[in-house]
Structure 1
Amino acid sequence: MNDPRSEYERRMNRVLDHIDRNLDAQLDLPALADIANFSRYHFHRIFAGWMGETIGDYVRRRRLEVAAHKLAAGGSVLEVALSTGFGSGEAFARAFKIRFGSTPTEWRNSTPERTAAFLAAQKSNLSQANSKYGQAGNGASGEHDVSHNPFGETIMEVNIVDMQAARVAYRRHIGPYGPAVGQFWAQAVMPWMLGHGLAGATCYGIGHDDPSVTPADKCRYDACVEIPAGFEPGGQFSVANLPGGRYAVTRYTGSPRDIGPVWNRLMKEWLPSSGLQCDERPCFERYENLATQTDGSFTCEICIPVKAL
C-alpha cells in the first residue's frame, strides 16, 4: 500500500500541473477537486493546508507571474491578459498594478533595467559567497575555472539541438532554489534511484518559477529521472512526459551556487539577440551523470525550448 502522504503529493501535483496548463480557462473548485479525486466539499481546506494559500490566491498568483514573464518577453498587454485568464485589459492592469506596483506596459518597458538590477544583486551575492567560501578554507584556492565565470567576458557557447521526448519519474520540491535543491536530490532522489536500479539514468531538473518574481518559499522544482516504458515508480514519485523538440543548449560546469547567473545570462542576454524566443515547454537542466567532483562542482546542460520569433 502506498504511503498516504505520497498519494496526497501525487494528487496535488496533478492539480498544480492542470492549473498551469489552463491559466486561460475557467478554473472552478469542483473540477479541480475531481482532478485530485478529493471531496469537493473539503478540497478548499485540503489545498490551503497543503499549499499555504487558498486556491483562488494560488491561481491569481500564477496568472500574474506567468503574465510578468510574457510581458518581459515583449508580449502585448491585451494578448497576455487573455492568455492568462483575464477577461479584459483593464481588469488585468488593475490586478497587475496591485501585485507588482507598476502597470503592465511599465513592467514590459523596464525589463532591461530590472534585469540589470537583478543581475547586479546576484553578482553581489555571489561575490559575498565566494569571499566567505575562501575565508572558510573549503577549497584549495576558492577559485573557479574562468571559462565558467558567469560575469566574465567570454562568449557563451550555445547550440540548437533537436531533443527526443523523455518519460520521467519526478518528485517535486517547493521552496527556495539553491543549496536546498542539491540536498533534495541527495536525500530524497538519489537513494530512490539507487534502490530502483536507475543509478545511471539521465536526470533533469525543472525549475518552474523565476525567483525574481515568485516568492522563494513558493518556487517549484521537479527532480526528474528518465525511466523506461512500463516502469511505474510509486511512492512519492509521479510520471510525466518531458516534451522533445528544438532547444537551445549550453554546457555548465561549476558549483550549484553559480548556476543562477548563468541561467539569467542565457535568458536575458543570449536569447534576445538570437532571433529565437521561448515557447510554452519547460526549461530544464539535463544531467548525464549526477556524481559531483570532490569540490562539490557538477556538470549539466542548460536547455531552453525555442521557436522562431
Structure 2
Amino acid sequence: MANPAYYQSSLVSQQVQQKEHLLHLYLYQRGEQPAGGGNQRVIVKPGLPFQFGEAVVIDWSVYDGVPLNAKLVGRAQGSSFAAQSTGFSSWAYGFNIVFTDARFGGSGLKLDGMQGTEKGEWAVVGGTGQFGGAQGTATFAFIKPQPDPTAHVWELHLRFVCTAFTKQTPPIKVEPPVGGNGGQAVGVAAKPQRLLSVTIGHGDVIDSLSFSYVDEAGNNQTAGPWGGKGGVSKTIKLKPTETVNKIIGTTGSFGGHVVVNSLEIVTNLDTYGPYGKGNGTQFAIPQKDNSRVVCFHGRAGLFLDAIGVYAAEN
C-alpha cells in the first residue's frame, strides 16, 4: 500500500549522539488554600473510599534549592488522579516541567508515574527544546522536616538521555591556486568552516592577504598576513549571514614574477573592491557557482604570488 502524502520515512542518514543530563530540583506543592496561595485544584471529587477517582490539576513551583536561597526555575504543570480503590491512596501523575530560567527557558520535560509513598520513581518519557527526546528516570522523596510550612516539598533527582542528530557539514573542496610560482606555499592547519573577515594589503598589486575563520571545532582562527608590508590595508568584516561566493581578480607580471594583481570579493550581500590594479589575466574562483569560500591558501613572498580557496557547497 502506498504511503499517504502526509507521511515520509527513511533510514537514519545522520550520525546519532546521546547526551546524558542530571538535574536536582525541588517541587513546591501548596495545595488549594494555604496561607501562601494554592497551586493545585481538585476538579473531580466522587467521594469514594481512598479518594478513588479524584482528579487534581497542578501548577507547582520548581526551584533549584530550598528557601532562603532558592531560585524559581520553572513550573510543574499537569494532573494527578487517585488510581487505587483499595488499601491506600495511590496517585497517578502526568505533568510537564516547563523551564523559565535563562539557561533552559522554553524547554520542557514530561514525567509520568505513580506515587503512593514518600519515596518513589517516575519515568521521564519525553522532552522539548534542549531536552528533546528525553528518556530516563526521576526519583522523588518528601523532605523532612518540611522547609516551608505552607508547602509539601519534593526533592527530585532526574537522570535522562537526549538523542540528537549531529549536524552534517558539507565537504570542503580545495581548489588549486592561480598566479605565479614564486614565494612560499601558505595555508591553514585547522579544517575551515566559515570565513569571518578578510584583510587585503594593496597598491599596484596585492601586497598581502590575511583573514580570520571558524574551524570545524567551532574555534576562531587567524592566518597571515601572507606577503609583504607594502600597500594600503583594507579589512572586510563579514556579517553573520554573509558568505563569500566568488573571488574575482587578475594575475600578471610584476618585478619579473607573476603575482596577483587585483582582487574583488563578491558575497551574497555585497561586492568589495576591486583592490590593486586590474591588469593581466582574469580569473574567478571557486569554479562552481553554488559554492562559498571558507578559507584561502596560495603562495606568498614579497607579494601575494598566488591565491586558491577552500570551497563548500551552499
Q: TM-score, normalised by structure 2?
A: 0.19
Larger gyration radius, structure 1 or structure 2: 2
Q: TM-score, normalised by structure 1?
A: 0.19
More helix, by proportion = 1
More strand, by proportion = 2
